Structure 1
């Protein structure tokens, strides 16, 4: 409202100036004073036009803010309704019971997950480096990694069994394969097959 206040102040100043001149009109005013009164009236008219424009602008802003307030109020009510009606637990789709052969401890499961993470970090550390900075062995690995990528792996981090052997001490044996099956059953791991390779992606 500072713009309106400034214009209002100028109007009051002009009106006061005109009032002072009119109070002196009881005596005959010289020509230059009459010209001054005309200039003040013209300036006052311009200020009144600006004031009217500002009032219209402020009314438009007020209407816009009212619409915005109503919209936010509706959104707030929707959010409150959702919060008031969140169930104590979100039901999950129950899949068919499946018997898993073999036994594994949490430590064994976590060890496999850790080995996959280690292989992923080592593999993508090489992929994220420029070829010029790599030695001959790392360049061969870089090319192998690139050859294993497909359109389905775009934007995905994955490893294959050779990566596990390359970067970890984990034995890729039947026990390892059994734990991978458990992780896949628990939806912690996804397999992507193609080109004679099985690509493993942790979820």
Structure 2
């Protein structure tokens, strides 16, 4: 029983007691009974004052709880907004890619056969370099005319697609020709033909690689996003032989 309920119960008992005394007032009461009625009235007055005090305290508590509820509702809305707008790709510090390699492609035509243990050891010695995701501060620094309607999530989705292409491409290049099927050998040869003295020791992809290993559309919007990636110093272009190479920085 709460303090307020306890006082209310006590007042009810007092009032009931006074009611019984008043019911008996039709007869002449002894002096001591009249004195008792006065004492009960004084006690009831004190209880009423205490009751009013408790009511005031409860009102203050109710107001405080209402403020807390409003604060919790606002926090909940903020958290929900954050959850609904989490970027598809959150930039993070990348470590050596020793344990996993990205899925090469959803195009099942490229079927790389298992390689010999020596080839795996050689492949694991040097991790494939990937492009770092764009941070929110970098995205906000891009001029509006360059961003257009592209969103932060779309920009990093292209970064992910480029990384997938780079990983798949250099996975093939690092395997021996004997371990590859005919289609993968053709890709291996194409990759080698696209290399020049300026690409030595560098990682790069071309548009055909992105089409081969991802489902990303290489269209006008893609070209616009490449401009933003150049602005953020994630890549540079190297043209020659009728193709454009996107070099990772």
The Cα of 1:98 is off from its aligned counterpart by 8.9
The Cα of 1:102 is off from its aligned counterpart by 2.1
The Cα of 1:99 is off from its aligned counterpart by 4.2
Runs (5+) with no aligned partner, structure 2: 1-142
Q: Distance in 1 between matches of 2:180 and 2:147?
A: 43
Say yes or no: does 1:125 pair with 2:168.
Answer: no
Q: Distance in 2 between matches of 1:154 and 1:108?
A: 30
CA contact (8 A) 2:207 2:218 kept: yes
Say yes or no: does 1:181 pair with 2:227.
Answer: yes
Task: Point out which structure has higher relative CO (alpha carbons under 8 A, 6+ apart).
Answer: 2
CA contact (8 A) 2:236 2:247 kept: yes
Say yes or no: does 1:107 pair with 2:157.
Answer: no
Tell me the residue number matched to 1:74: none
Kindly provide the CA deviation profile for residues 136-163 of structure 1, in whole angstroms up to 9, marking residues without a partner as x: 0000000000000000000001000000
The Cα of 1:108 is off from its aligned counterpart by 0.4
Say yes or no: does 1:137 pair with 2:192.
Answer: no
When the two structures are aligned, how many residues end up with a matched partner?
107
Partner SS, residue 187 of structure 1: coil
CA contact (8 A) 2:202 2:248 kept: no
TM-align CA RMSD: 1.5
Tell me the residue number matched to 2:117: none
Q: Distance in 2 between matches of 1:198 and 1:122?
A: 19
Partner SS, residue 104 of structure 1: coil
Kindly provide the CA deviation profile for residues 120-177 of structure 1, in whole angstroms up to 9, marking residues without a partner as x: 0000000000000100000000000000000000000100000000000101011111
Q: Distance in 2 between matches of 1:200 and 1:192?
A: 7
Say yes or no: does 1:157 pair with 2:203.
Answer: yes
Q: Distance in 1 between matches of 2:147 and 2:166?
A: 28
Q: Any runs of at least 4 consecutive aligned residues in structure 1 with deviations exceeding 3 A, and if so which?
A: none
Q: Distance in 2 between matches of 1:182 and 1:200?
A: 13
Please show how residues 1-203 of structure 1 align to structure 2 within 5 Å: 99-100=145-146, 102-203=148-249
Q: Distance in 1 between matches of 2:190 and 2:175?
A: 14
